[in-house]
Amino acid sequence: MLENPLVLGIETTCDETGVALARGFDLLHDQVASSMEEHARFGGIVPEVASRAHLEAFPAAFEATIAATGVRLEDVDAIAVAAGPGLVGSLAVGLSAAKALALALGKPLYGVNHVVAHALVDQLVHGQFPAPVLALVASGGHSSLLVIDGPQVEELGHTLDDAAGEAFDKVGRLLGLPYPAGPHIDRLAQTGNARAIDFPRALTRRQDLEKHRYDFSFSGLKTAGARWIEAAQDRGEEVPLADFAASFSGAVADVLTAKTVAAAKALGLKTVVIGGGFSANTQLRELAADRFAAAGLEARIPPIRLCTDNGAMIAAAGVQAIKGGLKPSALNVAADSSMPMEQLVA
């Protein structure tokens, strides 16, 4: 087992093309190219557009990473690539590139779990995790609670319908906000009253907790938001954007942090990691800091630049797999849009 393997990470799950190099948990370089502007005019991700954007962006991102680090390709110890979850067409682009490199260089290939990688990337910032840790991964398509113990992952709970980011985008569309709506709602919320509108907190009642103790559901919140907007418009009233944003965002942050603290207490875990694109949300970060501190928990949240999809998190997952003694993936490993959370390496 290599103590500090040099790993090339490749990320192409959705709308960001990421390439990075990490030596152990020391990030050498991270290059990201986004196709978000191409999707914004459609109001959402268009899979075919995303795949083509990866094809166009990957060569430049790869070359820039190698040039910035001065690393010789033959010195790389392993190639890590996102194998899922994600858009199948987009995943195929990264997997094809990773397989070609692994075959040409004679290096092991690790097809890693994109969602788990959102938590593992924090090790590139704050050092290796103690074992075990609790991880909350909140993004556009995923809301999951995971226990990470070295290379082993256990899923405690997940979203039953809309993830946090999805709920924001769908409500943002009704408010006339640009896609993606998350940053715009977050900005508006800074000047709003989070108690102005009493939005529901799904799966938090006693009877719900018996079956879905650590699961999430935001479709009901999305529907409640939509009905509130429609009612205000029917009355001829202007929607108070700041108050609506603060209340809606606050409801999401409340549920995410409350269930995370409850899980940490129940399992006796002292370190909590938050990752994923939605972890950039200001109210989530502030409420998590307050609640975790009150519960005596150590909060670890990577900087915003590492919260969205990037190659660094894939490299970190590759390093974790190697240090944990996991076997490499076969060269015929396929993209898996529904890759199980318990599976770090395909």
DSSP 318: H
Q: How far, in Å, CA of 125 to CA of 303, rounded?
A: 8
145 and 205 co-located in one domain: yes
264 and 216 co-located in one domain: yes
Find the length of the chain. 346
* Cross-strand pairs, 23: 6, 26
294 and 316 co-located in one domain: no
Domain with 142 in it: 133-304
**Tens of pLDDT, residues 144-159:** 999 999 999 999 999 9
Let me know if residue 110 belongs to a domain. yes
Strands 26-34, 16-23: pairing is: antiparallel
Residue 32: give its domain's CATH number.
Answer: 3.30.420.40
Do residues 134 and 269 make contact, with C-beta atoms less than 8 angstroms apart? yes
**Tens of pLDDT, residues 271-324:** 999 999 999 999 999 999 999 999 999 999 999 999 999 999 999 999 999 999
pTM: 0.96
15 and 112 co-located in one domain: yes
Residue 262 clears pLDDT 90, i.e. is over it = yes
Let me know if residue 74 belongs to a domain. yes
276 and 318 co-located in one domain: no
**Tens of pLDDT, residues 17-51:** 999 999 999 999 999 999 877 877 878 788 899 99
Torsion of CA 339, 343, 344, 346, to 10 degrees: -60
Do residues 300 and 264 make contact, with C-beta atoms less than 8 angstroms apart? no
**Tens of pLDDT, residues 89-105:** 999 999 999 999 999 99
| Domains of the chain: total | 2
